[in-house]
Structures are given as C-alpha cells and as structure tokens.
C-alpha cells in the first residue's frame, strides 16, 4: 500500500471508529435530574469525553490499518484488479 492510499485508509477508518464511539458513556443534561446549562438544549451531552474518544479512535484505527496492510502485503486482498 502506498503512502497516500495508506493515509487515506487510516483517515477513513479513524472517522468511522470515531463516529461509532461518540454515543458511548454520554448522558444528557436532563437525565438523573441534572442541571441544564442556560442556552443549551436539555438533551445536550453533559460530559462528551471527546479527548478520550479521539485517543481510543486513533488506537483502534491504527489496529484496523495494520490488519488491512498485513492482508494486502500477504496478498489476502487484491486491490490491483487482476
């Protein structure tokens, strides 16, 4: 896999994993009788934990990338169209 295609695969995998992790551990402001911050909707997340999700998305996307790269190098997946 070339440098550009490898980077593209990593970016796509990262975004997919990031969007899948967004709902984990999120509670709305109005759940459990919490206070709603003025100017926000009551269903807005209280603590979205975005940095934690970015970190885990980066690690998981790297694992996915290494697995796909290994499969391509060992010719388990053919991307040349032959």
Q: What is the pLDDT of residues 18-39, one digit of tens each?
A: 999 999 988 888 876 777 888 8
**Assigned domain for 16 exists:** yes
pTM: 0.78
Reported residue count of the chain is: 82
Give the structural domain span for 51.
3-73
Q: What is the pLDDT of residues 47-78, one digit of tens each?
A: 889 999 999 999 999 999 999 989 988 888 87
pLDDT of residue 38: 86
**Assigned domain for 80 exists:** no
**Assigned domain for 59 exists:** yes
Residues 6 and 65: beta-carbon distance below 8 Å: yes
- 74 three-class SS: coil
72: left (phi over 0), alpha (psi -120 to 50) or beta: alpha
pLDDT of residue 51: 95
**Assigned domain for 79 exists:** no
pLDDT of residue 75: 83
């Amino acid at each position: 896999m070339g440098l550009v295609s490898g980077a593209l695969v990593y970016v796509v995998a990262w975004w997919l994993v990031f969007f899948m992790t967004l709902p984990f551990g999120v509670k709305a402001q109005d759940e459990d009788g919490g206070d709603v911050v003025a100017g926000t909707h009551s269903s807005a997340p209280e603590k979205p934990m975005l940095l934690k999700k970015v970190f885990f998305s980066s690690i998981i996307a790297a694992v996915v990338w290494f697995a796909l790269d290994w499969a391509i190098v060992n010719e388990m997946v053919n991307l040349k169209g032959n």
